[in-house]
Amino acid sequence: MKNLLILGAGTSGTMMANHLVKELRDDEWKITIVDQYKTHYYQPGFLFIPFGTYKPDDVKRTIDEFIPKKVELVREEIDLINKDSDEVVLKNGQKLKYDILIIATGCKTAPEEVEGMKGDTWYKNIFDFYTFEGSCALAKKLETWKGGKLVVHITEMPIKCPVAPLEFAFLADDYFYKKGMRDKVEITYVTPLSGAFTKAKTTAELNHLLEEKNIKIVPDFAVEHIEGENGKIYDYGGEEVDFDLLVTVPTNMGDDSILRSGFGNDLNYVPTDKHTLQSKIKENIFVIGDATDVPASKAGSVAHFEAEILTENILNYIEGKPLKPNFDGHANCFIETGKGKALLIDFNYEVEPVKGKFPFGGIGPLNLLTESKFNHWGKMAFKWVYWNMLLPARKIPFVTPQMSLDGKYLEGIEINK
């Protein structure tokens, strides 16, 4: 028997277990997946908890129910990967040998990276909404908050779901408006980027929405330290922004086990071939999802597209065939804009998000880079899709792993091949 080992039973790891159990012969391959936790969170739902749209229980399921019976689930913390002896060492000292390793250890927030962020006022006037604990604490805070200066803030890139902080700002506008207190809240969006987003067309569209919703933007702001008691964030250049309530996205980092294994980059992400998803560490190590250093968004949709391509490449690797450089950086994200509407963006390494229709060119029914109610319902339906189709690795109809140019308005767009 040969061993295929998956590290991490989050979105990527769970999808890979479900794909591979269907593809590999169970008399030849034993599949094992390691994760120290019991709960699988629907992370896109964290955005909606602070505003009461989702209740905490709406985003929680158990890890076990999504792992196929033929896959062994080991509940233990990972100490490190020993690439030279092809084994993974667990915290309890147990060693797991592998023939093929898939790293799906994701990324997490690291608020301790910025001086003063996780200080005495953490979860008093400084919150994150990228964790279950943070979004639940923020929901309680917002219920009784009397208003003032709300600052929505990104610490540094890359972050999981780069559009979520903007969505938070848009939904906050809507939330306070409905509570009849929008005039008591000043919303400021503070970002290390030069504009609302990383891609030009989308930034133009989103800057316009920020203006329309009276949300002030402070660009090119790299936080140096935070003073919770005084309600101030400072940038390396000496600029400061006042807050009564700071909703921050802390630095995102890969798992500590990657640091202990000695092959991550400065944020503990694993060096990975951006087209084949094979690691640059050793040929029998593959990487997927937020754990990689590939220049694609850290998002569930990206992991979903990667999973189909990685499955194919694992099979190629086993059969001794060349790997296919098929991953194109495809991402597909709904952006909630408040008042029951959303935008949809679809892009890859080479093509930035543009206007158009999706998934059928000219027909839709979803609109690219244009606000619509239908897009919002698409986003809300996605929770069902996530639990019932995405994690079990069932094909999502009409949405291909590689990005399609059909239905996209590409006039004046430079494609950086």
Partner 1 sequence: MEKTIAGKVINVNEEGYLVNMDEWNEDIAKELAQEENIELSPRHFEVLNYLRDQQRKEVALTIRGVGKSGVVDIKEFYVLFPKGPLKISSKVAGIPKPKSCI
Residues contributing to the site for partner 1 (CB under 8 A): 156-158, 162, 192-194, 198, 220, 222, 224, 236-237, 265-267, 293, 295-298
Please give the C-alpha separations between residue 184 and each of 148, 152, 179, 192, in angstroms, as whole numbers. Answer: 6, 16, 11, 26
Structure tokens of 17? 């277990």
- The helices-and-strands tally (H runs, E runs) of the chain is 7, 24
Residues 6+ apart with CB under 8 A from 319: none
* 111 versus 407: smaller Cβ distance to partner 1: 111
DSSP state of 135: H
CB of 295 to partner 1, least distance (A): 6
* 193 versus 389: smaller Cβ distance to partner 1: 193
Q: Which residue has the tokens 């698409």?
A: 378
* 194 versus 214: smaller Cβ distance to partner 1: 194
CB of 324 to partner 1, least distance (A): 23
CB of 115 to partner 1, least distance (A): 12
* 239 versus 242: smaller Cβ distance to partner 1: 239
CB of 244 to partner 1, least distance (A): 27
CB of 111 to partner 1, least distance (A): 15
* 122 versus 234: smaller Cβ distance to partner 1: 234
Across the strands, what pairs with 335? 343
* 181 versus 415: smaller Cβ distance to partner 1: 415
C-alpha span between 92 and 216 (Å, rounded): 50
By the 10 Å C-beta count (0-12 exposed, 13-18 middle, 19+ buried), 108 is classed as middle
Q: Is residue 1 within 8 Å of 28, Cβ to Cβ?
A: yes
CB of 299 to partner 1, least distance (A): 10
Q: Which residue has the tokens 């503990």?
A: 268
> What is the pairing mode between strands 232-235 and 240-242?
antiparallel
